Amino acid sequence: MLAVVGTIPENDFPLTTGKIKAFGNELNINKKKVPVNRGTPALLSAMEQTLKTLGNREITSFLAGDIGLGDGSFKLYQYLVDNIADMDIDVIVFHYLQPDVDWHNKIIFRLQELKKKPIIIADAGFMYAAKMSGLAPSYDLFTPDAGELAFLADEKAPHPFYTRGFILHKDNKIPDLITRAYSHGNAAENLLVKGSTDYIADKSGILSSVNSPATEAMEAMGGTGDTLTGIVTALIGSGMEIPEASEKAAMINRLAGFYAKPDPAYPGW
């Protein structure tokens, strides 16, 4: 199973699990329609498009409505704790979810109890909880942006909001921040750092980087990091090794941005 866990920004979207089908700018999950804009729907849509090219492997999604109160995230957490043991998961990605260390730990321990540990990927809120829990090395891939990398590198910060200034402002920062994140045990086995240059790294340091084509407007656009996480998850789900998948995903996401020729107001409102 290629699993995606995330939220929909609607108060009344119920806990919904099932296969994803894409229709234009909408996703369909168990007859529920979800517009593709940003957040987890953008991740799912990018995954679906990538997998279509690679041979149509199915995505199983675990979604709930959450507008920041945590209620939908907590329903998802409970569902996963109750049901993970019966799932045949080989790759799982956690996305926009309310960071909560207790729930996070319950889920990770359940995943570690499986006969075969799946590849575990985290982005956004669940990555924050992963770092705060001290269990970051249990993950196979994190996909932080530069600011989130600084948060991973700050062993004292429980959220990017509290990253200390001397870490944010360090010169020549990305390689140093990667080293610092690993030295404090706050990074996954692999990192795909999103930014004006995308970096692929592991505990040995930077493995590769991608910086072209460059589309400056993507920095302002909501959803471009979500699509990158979706693409890399799909590539990993196809069997590709994580460093290769990360490098290719960075290039694919950049090419998508390049051909869309966006300005900072994209996709237009």
Partner 1 sequence: MIKYFGITARFNLFKKASTSLSDENLGILVFENTSEVIQAEKILKAHGIIIKVMGPPPKIQTGCDLVISFPLIKELNILRLLKKADLAPQQVVPVTDPLLVPVNLFQSKNFGKFLMVRAANMKITVEIKSQKIVNISGGGCPDVPYLAYKMVGKTLAQAPDPLEIGHTLCGYALSLAFEEIKKQC
User: Does 127 participate in binding partner 1 (rule CB under 8 A)?
Assistant: yes
- Taking alpha carbons only, the member of 46, 17, 12 closest to residue 31 is 17
The structure tokens 């957040």 sit at 39
Between vectors from CA 87 to CA 93 and to CA 36, what angle results, nearest 5°? 40
- Amino acid letter for position 90: D
Q: Is 198 helix (H, G, I), strand (E, B) or coil?
A: strand
To the nearest 10 degrees (0 to 180), the angle between helices 224-237 and 39-54 is: 40
Instruction: Report, in Å, the least distance between residue 53 CB and partner 1.
Output: 26
User: Does 169 participate in binding partner 1 (rule CB under 8 A)?
Assistant: yes
Interface residues for partner 1 in 56-115 (CB under 8 A)?
66-70, 72-73, 96-102
The CA–CA distances, whole Å, from 46 to 22, 33, 257, 268 equal: 10, 16, 12, 19
1, 81, 207, 217: which one binds partner 1 (CB under 8 A):
217
Which region, judged by CB under 8 A, interacts with partner 1, from 83-91, 149-157, 185-193, 249-257? 149-157
The answer to whether residues 147 and 163 touch, using CB atoms and an 8 Å cutoff, is yes
25, 112, 162, 212: which one binds partner 1 (CB under 8 A):
162
Q: What are the tokens at 185?
A: 């045990």
Q: What are the tokens at 161?
A: 């909001």
90, 155, 219, 244: which one binds partner 1 (CB under 8 A):
219
Instruction: Report, in Å, the least distance between residue 129 CB and partner 1.
Output: 6
User: Does 220 participate in binding partner 1 (rule CB under 8 A)?
Assistant: yes
Print the binding letters for residues 24-63 with partner 1: x by CB under 8 A, - otherwise: -------------xxxx-----------------------
Which residues bind to partner 1, rule: CB under 8 A?
Answer: 7, 9-10, 37-40, 66-70, 72-73, 96-102, 123-129, 132, 145-148, 151, 156-165, 168-169, 173, 195-196, 216-217, 219-225, 263-266, 269
